[in-house]
Structure 1
Amino acid sequence: MSRIVYSTDQGRLCPDCGHPQQQCQCAELAASAQRAARGGDGIVRISRETKGRKGKGVSIVSGLNLDDSALKTLAKDLKQKLSIGGAVKDGQIEFQGDQRQALKKLLEARGYNVKLAGG
């Protein structure tokens, strides 16, 4: 099976959809699907996880319907208020240690609907 990757009248073609690269919408569709998957049901969930971390626990905040820059800004503000470390990974915010109760109070003060999930 051969696919055309270049056309003299249209230029380079997208390998996924076959449209010219100037008209390709694959990246936009993937970005909108990722935002929709992050959105969830409007409830922010805070869980605790130790798996794959050599017994060290982290608190994971998921379900925030924010873009990457707003997510990083929120993470930075929460880390400063709690004086802890953390990171933004795959649309979730990870905080060092078991900080679920403190995170719940801070996020509820910002107007989020928060639930504690998991153990």
Structure 2
Amino acid sequence: MDLQDQLKHLFPDHVSNEPEKEQQETDNLWIQDDPIICKYEKRKGKPITILEGYTGTTGDFKALAKDIKTRLSVGGSFKDDKIIIQGDYRDKIMQILKDKGFKVKRVGG
């Protein structure tokens, strides 16, 4: 139960001025036929996960990167049409992408 639900329970007659959030932008991503490639590398001795192969718009890919980083609570970046996530999170990332409807292919290791 989040804070909004608790407040509604305590004050049932209160009408909120804030509009309720609609579905996130990431739900409207363009789903492609080719799989997104999820691979693992080490750079300067530190593990990273790289996602590449998305053929949609750059804005959609950036929104996808932001959603993955938020869900996993990790750092990362978007460079050269690749999402770079700090750490080895291949399994979790692949599950997130499959839940969104993407095809994912695991490469390396």
Deviations 1:24-78 (Å, cap 9, x if unpaired)? xxxxxxxxxxxxxxxx97111100011xx21101000111112211111110011
Indicate whether 1:114 and 2:104 are aligned: yes
The structure having more radius of gyration, on CA atoms, is: 1
For 2:105 and 2:35, locate their aligned partners in 1 and report how far apart those are by CA, in whole Å.
7
Which 4+ stretches in 1 moved above 3 angstroms? none
Indicate whether 1:56 and 2:46 are aligned: yes
CA RMSD across the alignment: 1.5
* Aligned position for 2:3: none
In structure 2, give the amino acid aligned to 1:65: T
* Aligned position for 1:46: 38
In structure 2, give the amino acid aligned to 1:46: C
For 1:80 and 1:93, locate their aligned partners in 2 and report how far apart those are by CA, in whole Å.
13
Aligned to 2:108, the other structure's residue is in SS state coil
CA shift, 1:113, in A, is 0.7
* Aligned position for 2:70: 80
For 1:72 and 1:103, locate their aligned partners in 2 and report how far apart those are by CA, in whole Å.
15
How many residue pairs were aligned?
Answer: 78
Alpha-carbon contact 2:33-2:103 (below 8 Å) kept: no
Aligned to 1:42, the other structure's residue is in SS state coil
For 1:73 and 1:54, locate their aligned partners in 2 and report how far apart those are by CA, in whole Å.
27
TM-score by length of 2: 0.67
For 1:76 and 1:66, locate their aligned partners in 2 and report how far apart those are by CA, in whole Å.
16
Q: Structure 2: which 5+ residue stretches go unaligned?
A: 1-31
Aligned to 1:95, the other structure's residue is in SS state strand
Q: Which has the higher contact order (CA 8 A, sep 6+)?
A: 2
Q: Structure 1: which 5+ residue stretches go unaligned?
A: 1-39
